[in-house]
């Protein structure tokens, strides 16, 4: 749940400043924003298909943290590019990664929780997944206003990569998901 919270606050928040990125970095308009959003959506769709195909062959924990790393690295690269094609590829992979992470966290929680507690625990998950995103919008807006949108995205990506790596390394000690 903490990984979901961190990803929601520092990951999803990139979408809040996408109009600023499109206008200030790429010097384009609404059609470019639509194109980049479409590429991100295609990455999310690809993630759903990929998870359904490989989830039985690759351990859930590797897919969750692989998705975390894929998102963090892709969104970091996105923040450095001024090339539209490269940006669309990085957004594709970033959404592929974060949706892989979120969907498998959801499945893992549903399998780990007793039936009589599932609704309550999933409501907390929904809070971490959707309810904390406005705080991410607040923080990225503040950082972008003072330090620029690219740096704001980079800071979020670094936090996601560092926390995801920390959690992956400490997973056995913390009692998080035993490898399958």
**pTM for this structure?**
0.88
- Rounded CA gap, 19 and 12, in Å? 14
CA distance readout (Å), 32 to 28, 36, 39, 42, 55: 6, 6, 11, 15, 34
How do the pLDDT tens digits run along the chain, 180 residues long?
A: 888 899 999 988 899 999 999 999 999 999 999 999 999 999 999 999 999 898 888 888 889 999 999 999 999 999 999 999 999 999 999 999 999 999 998 888 888 888 899 889 889 988 988 889 899 999 999 999 999 999 999 999 999 999 999 988 887 776 665 444
C-beta separation of 25 from 149 below 8 A: yes
Residue appearing with tokens 């690295």: 73
C-beta separation of 98 from 11 below 8 A: yes
């Amino acid at each position: 749940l903490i990984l979901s919270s961190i990803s929601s606050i520092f990951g999803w928040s990139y979408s809040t400043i996408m109009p600023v990125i499109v206008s200030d970095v790429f010097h384009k308009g609404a059609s470019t924003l639509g194109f980049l959003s479409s590429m991100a959506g295609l990455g999310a769709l690809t993630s759903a298909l990929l998870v359904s195909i490989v989830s039985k062959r690759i351990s859930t924990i590797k897919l969750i943290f692989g998705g975390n790393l894929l998102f963090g690295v892709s969104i970091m690269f996105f923040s450095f590019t001024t090339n539209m094609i490269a940006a669309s590829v990085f957004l594709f992979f970033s959404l592929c990664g974060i949706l892989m992470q979120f969907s498998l966290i959801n499945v893992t929680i549903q399998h780990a929780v007793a039936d009589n507690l599932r609704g309550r625990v999933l409501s907390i998950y929904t809070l971490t997944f959707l309810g904390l995103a406005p705080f991410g919008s607040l923080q990225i807006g503040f950082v972008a206003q003072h330090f620029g949108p690219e740096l704001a995205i980079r800071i979020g990506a670094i936090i996601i990569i560092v926390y995801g790596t920390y959690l992956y390394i400490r997973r056995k000690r913390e009692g998080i998901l035993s490898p399958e």
